[in-house]
A = this chain, B = another copy of it.
Amino acid sequence: MATGEFDLIRRFRDLLPGPPGDLVIGPGDDCAAFDGGDGRLWLMTCDALVDGRHFRLDRIDPEALGRRLAAVNLSDIAAMGGTPRFALVSLVLPAGFDEEASEALVRGVSSELGRYGACIAGGNLSGGDELVADMTLVGEVPSEQVIRRTGAQPGDSILVTGRPGSSAAGLAVMAYDGDTTRFADLVQAHSEPQARVEAGRAIAVSGLATAMIDLSDGLMADLGHLCTASGVGAEIRTNAMDLGESLQEAGSFTGIDPLRWVLSGGEDYELLFTAPPEAVEELAAIAAKAEECPVTVIGTIAEGAGEVRCFNEGGADVTPDDGGWDHFGSDNQET
């Protein structure tokens, strides 16, 4: 979902003229970044939500859709350690999406951005047959604080904020059409995801993390992206996962192994980051305090070339076959 995961450009980057020197980060990370010349990097990311692919218009209210659009973009800024600033919102509106709905969507974007002091600076409206809500978000970060995907080293610990898998579990319990009030926290994780902007900033300010990415495609898949970018591998210990009560209960309720949600569920918008073992305790405390959420050490960076393996308590390899989550099918061409 992130700016950097623009395979089409990466694939034939060699055909394009080289970027100018002040484009510090091009395709291949959560955001692109250019040098502001005054000690700041300006971060840029874009993400689109398309009806029938990323949401169903008949099942989501426009204001919640706006908040989601903001959250997925905020998460990319958070993953670089940045502060979100200015957004452009580009909407393709079908005939049935009326003015009231459009205003609710924009209000949702604005309110979610406003939580972090960011704002809508402009946008574009077009007609079309299906609703597309596209957004570009610019953020800033002091140059020396930016965290990329590329810095993970063998031996580093792997940390994650919150409880990955909650969004997928929320979708599952909603599909069961059961007593979802029992799983209100999971349903909310799915329907109202929130970016970890405060944690991202605190991690960046600490200077302790070696690499970071946000979880949009699923923990295994996104850890794989981080490992590929860093030229390393990773080993996850399933018994280190902090499932929490809700995920375990939702597993019993649906008959689905909750570890599947944790490893392969998407759209959590948690932060996954790496740090040398000696920095882990301090860094985990900093991130947990910033966001008031659990922060868990789930494994270790290893030698390798992008491979992520999972081991259970007994040491057996329990790596799932499927990896990440694929956005309502195989049509999403990224990752």
Contact = CB atoms under 8 A, between A and B. Distances in A.
Interface of A: 1-9, 11-12, 15-17, 19-20, 23, 26-27, 31-32, 34, 36-38, 40, 42, 44-48, 50, 52-54, 85-86, 88-93, 95, 99, 102-103, 106-107, 110, 114, 117, 119-130, 132, 134, 136, 138, 327, 329, 331-334
A198 to B, nearest CB: 18
A32 B121 contact: yes
A121 B16 contact: no
B130 A48 contact: no
Contacts of A331: 95, 126-127
A92 B132 contact: yes
Contacts of A127: 50, 53, 327, 329, 331-333
Given A19-B119, A34-B86, A37-B40, A47 B124 contact: yes
Given A20-B117, A122-B46, A3 B88 contact: yes
A23 B122 CA distance: 11
Given A17-B114, A88-B136, A52 B106 contact: no
A109 to B, nearest CB: 10
Contact of A16 (B31, B37, B110): B110
Nearest to A16: B110
A333 B122 contact: no
Contact of A8 (B9, B17, B19, B125): B125
16 contacts: A5-B124, A9-B120, A12-B103, A15-B107, A17-B110, A23-B86, A26-B119, A44-B88, A44-B138, A45-B88, A52-B129, A88-B136, A124-B334, A127-B331, A128-B132, A130-B130
A128 B8 CA distance: 17
What does DSSP make chain A's interface, helix, strand, loop or mixed?
mixed
- Tell me which of A12, A16, A45 has the highest count of chain B C-beta atoms within 10 A of its own C-beta: A16
Contacts of A1: 124
Given A32-B122, A126-B132, A126-B333, 17 more contacts: A3-B88, A3-B124, A9-B122, A16-B107, A26-B119, A27-B123, A32-B86, A32-B88, A44-B121, A44-B122, A48-B126, A50-B127, A52-B128, A95-B331, A124-B334, A125-B333, A127-B329
